[in-house]
Amino acid sequence: FFLKMSAFSLGLNSFTVPFSMHSENRSRLVSSLLTETSDGIVLLEGGISKERNDTDHELLFRQESYFHYLFGVKEPGFWGALYFTETTVKSILFCPRLPDEYAVWMGKITTPEQFKSHYEVDEVMYVDEMESWMASSSSSTNNLLLMNGKNSDSGSMYVPPNPPPTMTIDTKTLFPILANQRVYKTAKELELMKHVSKVTSLSHVNTMRTIKPGMMEYQAEATFLHFNYFHYGCRQLAYTAICACGPDPAVLHYGHAGAPNDQKINDGDMCLMDMGAEYHCYCSDITMSWPANGTFTDVQKIVYEGVLNAQRNVFEILRPGTSWVECHKAAEKAILTAMVKLGVIRMVNGVTMDDMVELRLGGVFMPHGLGHFIGVDTHDVGGYLPDFPKRESGPGLKSLRTARILEKDMCLTVEPGCYFIDYTIDNALKDDKLKGFIVEAEVNKHRGTGGVRLEDVIAITEESFTNYTVAPRGIDEVESVMAGNKWPPLKDLYPELKR
């Protein structure tokens, strides 16, 4: 099956991704590079297969993201090159030369010609032939472009590989161009993103209908993963699943090894499920919040509607030309309004809701940023690059993963949340600028109740946006789905969400 098509597919209901998507990405890159230099060779190293600690247990391989973006290769141990001049462009893959015994343990060895046909590149050679190829190519170009830069989400550096000593090395040009290119999705990428978010949405709905009080949080994770893989071939999750119930939603990145979705789900809990499928290394990231017993309490309704109104506030201004920072503030305004309704915040004479936003009161209840770019990585690259807006300061704003002005073909998540976190509440009660707004006796009633987050995957269009998240959002929709009723409904009752 692997050799029969120049595309990625796992058959049945799985999505077919043409490898022309990656050739388009390569063409876009070369066009951008030609504005900076007349010729060169781009060299990228793919991911390598790793074992667990000192054992021979091979970890499930996932391709390095930049390499996948340009070549779509699923196997480890590859290198890739783009040779370009003003008149010529060639794409070259270098595959590992495997020993004959590989066929016994791992299956039939694929030839360079078979890789060439499958991945739609101009040439495939072995890795041990790469240095001689580069030496021969240096007669027409001596300009070797390597990746070298910091990921603004992780803080980790992309360290360039060790190149042959015969070429002039450029480690400044490639990284900002390629990172910025990944911000803007092609039509084929957007179709794939739309599919993965549809799968994720349907899987969340299935999880909502399956999980009941008395079950464990990890059963929600298992239900979600099984649906994605069994029905749509999504073998990996886009990130560690967050299945937080009761007080656990107040831990923003719950689900890690120290808190592995291991608590019992109780009647009356709010459940926050932040999970996303991944297919062909493209990610979705959707968060649902719902009552474990299927019915919201009056207090849960206030908090939930506040977060949903935060999404609505953002969606009203979500279009090219809008600042992502302003989107974040619009979300905070809705959440603070809900907190006033709940009685945990008081209005002070002469101070408007906008003033409270600027005082960073919203960071007490939503300490994370509004969302992030998404694509080949869940927290996709390009958030903070040279010549784009710098990171803001202050609670909430400092956690924004980008401060850029929105443009067509950007793909992002919109994920406002409202949480009752002891740490942020305690600090606010000690802060002379904030403590006068907080009704301590009332906010204390909500400690230990967790929180609510709603997260959609959206793409910016020519004049507005489109929402790839096909999930129940209205309180009536959530309760209807959990009662077993049809989803999606025949009529959309919330057209402002643009699902």
- What percent helix, strand, coil does the chain show, rounded to 5? 35, 20, 45
Predicted confidence pLDDT, tens digits, the chain (499 residues): 455 689 999 999 899 999 999 999 999 999 999 999 999 999 999 999 999 999 999 999 999 999 999 999 999 999 999 999 999 999 999 999 999 999 999 999 999 999 999 999 999 999 999 999 999 998 889 899 999 999 999 999 999 988 766 789 999 999 999 999 999 999 999 999 999 999 999 999 999 999 999 999 999 999 999 999 999 999 999 999 999 999 999 999 999 999 999 999 999 999 999 999 999 999 999 999 999 999 999 999 999 999 999 999 999 999 999 999 999 999 999 999 999 999 999 999 999 999 999 999 999 999 999 999 999 999 999 999 999 999 999 999 999 999 999 999 999 999 999 999 999 999 999 999 999 999 999 999 999 999 999 999 999 999 999 999 999 999 999 999 999 999 999 999 999 999 9
Q: Which whole-number Å values give the CA distances from 335 to 324, 353, 354, 453, in the listed order?
A: 17, 11, 12, 11
Tokens 């030496």 sit at which residue? 135
Residue 324: how many CA atoms within 13 Å on its side-chain side? 32
Nearest Cα neighbor of 25 from 80, 96, 95 is 80
Closest CA relative to residue 314, chosen from 146, 456, 143: 456
* 430: CB partners within 8 A, 6+ apart: none
Q: How far apart are CA 35 and CA 30, in angstroms?
A: 9
